Amino acid sequence: MIETVFSAELPVGEHLLIQKNRIVGTGGPGPRIAIVTGVHGDELEGQYVAFELARRLKSALHLLSGTVDIYPAVNPLGINSIQRGMPLFDLDLNRTFPGNGNGPMAETMTAAVMDDIRGADVCVDIHASNIFLREMPQVRINELSADQLVPLAPLLNVDFVWVHASATVLESTLAYSLNSAGTPTLVVEAGVGMRITEEYGRRLTDGILRLAAHLGAWKGDFYSAPEPIVSHDGEVSYLNAEHAGIFLPRAKHATVLHEGEVVGIIADPLSGDVVEEVRSPRAGLLFTLRAYPIVYPGSLLARILGDIQ
């Protein structure tokens, strides 16, 4: 059943609507699982998961015990107009949680989303990197909630689980706010902005069903991926550009590199010179690779996970 989570009147004959699809199984009572995506309007990988999950659940309601709430678009205006943030304010909604019901519109909106999800047995917040970087499917976990979330993360069929240090500025994300409110929330990053990678989407959809099965909510089939790598910050190397130009990758995403291997080059289209050759500082897995060619000094080009077997 389609329900409206939040509605606000826009100036001229329109409402901003956040909607969810509430799918209630006929297999009896069970947990409530919330699947959220579209907090960032330029990340679309989760749109496929929302579609595919709803399609599969609706075709087998008798195998579902409990409720799955699917929120495809927390930032509907952004998705609609190809903007990462909320239009008008250029506001990153993932810096406005837990929101404030008496605050400005964006915070009123995020408070309504929080209130609607709060109390779910588990929540999965699906992101798709941004338009610049392609990511292998991964779960990112704040070290503060690692004890509770690390055991759940492998169920989502991701390639690896990244436990990262907590930062004050990240306290205003949906995941942090929900975890603080006692709703275990896993953040998935997969794919690249403005594109849909169906293979990743299918794996994640199966992963969500696997998680549901773990919670006793799903009795149907699902695919189980091999056990992911669990890593910490110290094992991740960042490669940033030192020169402006166009980045041309020379290594393949999602492969293991040896130390010193060329990840890519930065070329200058005006002079015809290669201005930088980017090499891997360590042996490891190339889990993040730049997809958008234009780079500035500082632009992230790649992330490499070391110490893997």
Partner 1 sequence: MRKTTLFTLDTPYREPLSICAAEFGAPDAPRSIAVVGSTRGNEIQQTFICAQLIERLSAAEERGLLAQDARILVIPSANPFSMNIGERFWPVDHTDINRMFPGYDAGETTQRIAAGLFEAVKDCDFGISLGSYYLPGDFLTHVRVTHANAISDESLQLADAFGFPYVVSRTPSSFDTTTLNYNWQVWNTHAFTVLAKETDTINQRTATYVQNGILRFMNAMGFVQSRSMGGSLAVHIDESDLVDVRSESAGGFFLRNVESGERVVEGQTLAVVADGFDGHVRETLRAPVTGYVFFSHTAPLINQYTIAFKLVPEVA
Residues forming contacts to partner 1 in the complex (CB under 8 A) are 8-13, 16, 84-85, 88-92, 95, 102-105, 108-109, 130, 132, 168-172, 238, 240, 243-246, 294-300
Nearest to 21 by CA among 48, 58, 46: 58
Residue given tokens 């400005």 in the structure block: 104
Joined together, the tokens standing for residue 3 give 């329900």
Q: What is the rounded CA–CA span in Å between residue 141 and residue 161?
A: 7
Which one, 43 or 276, has the nearer CB to Zn ion?
Answer: 43
55: number of CA atoms within 13 Å, CB side?
Answer: 9
Joined together, the tokens standing for residue 81 give 């107009």
Is residue 84 within the footprint of Zn ion (CB under 5 A)? Answer: no
CA distances from 234 to 162, 163, 174, 237 (A): 10, 10, 25, 8
Which one, 85 or 249, has the nearer CB to partner 1?
Answer: 85
Name the binder of 40 from Zn ion, partner 1, none, CB < 5-8 A by kind. Answer: Zn ion
Comparing every residue's Cβ against Zn ion, the nearest one is 127
| Shortest spacing between CB 11 and partner 1, in angstroms | 4
39-54 exposure pattern, b = at least 16 Cβ within 10 A, e = fewer: bbbbbbbbbbbbebbb
Residue 289, φ and ψ in degrees, nearest 5: -140, 135
Name the binder of 201 from partner 1, Zn ion, none, CB < 5-8 A by kind. Answer: none
Segment contacting Zn ion by CB under 5 A, of 34-42, 46-54, 132-140, 208-216 = 34-42
Is residue 32 within the footprint of Zn ion (CB under 5 A)? Answer: no
Is residue 127 within the footprint of Zn ion (CB under 5 A)? Answer: yes
Residue 99, amino acid: G
Which one, 127 or 203, has the nearer CB to Zn ion?
Answer: 127
Residues 6 or more apart from 13 whose CB is under 8 A from it?
none
Name the binder of 198 from partner 1, Zn ion, none, CB < 5-8 A by kind. Answer: none
Name the binder of 9 from Zn ion, partner 1, none, CB < 5-8 A by kind. Answer: partner 1
Name the binder of 226 from Zn ion, partner 1, none, CB < 5-8 A by kind. Answer: none
Q: What is the rounded CA–CA span in Å between residue 309 and residue 293?
A: 31
Which one, 170 or 308, has the nearer CB to partner 1?
Answer: 170
Joined together, the tokens standing for residue 225 give 């991926």
Name the binder of 296 from partner 1, Zn ion, none, CB < 5-8 A by kind. Answer: partner 1
Residue given tokens 């297999």 in the structure block: 27
| Shortest spacing between CB 298 and partner 1, in angstroms | 4
Q: Which residues bind Zn ion (CB under 5 A)?
A: 40, 43, 127
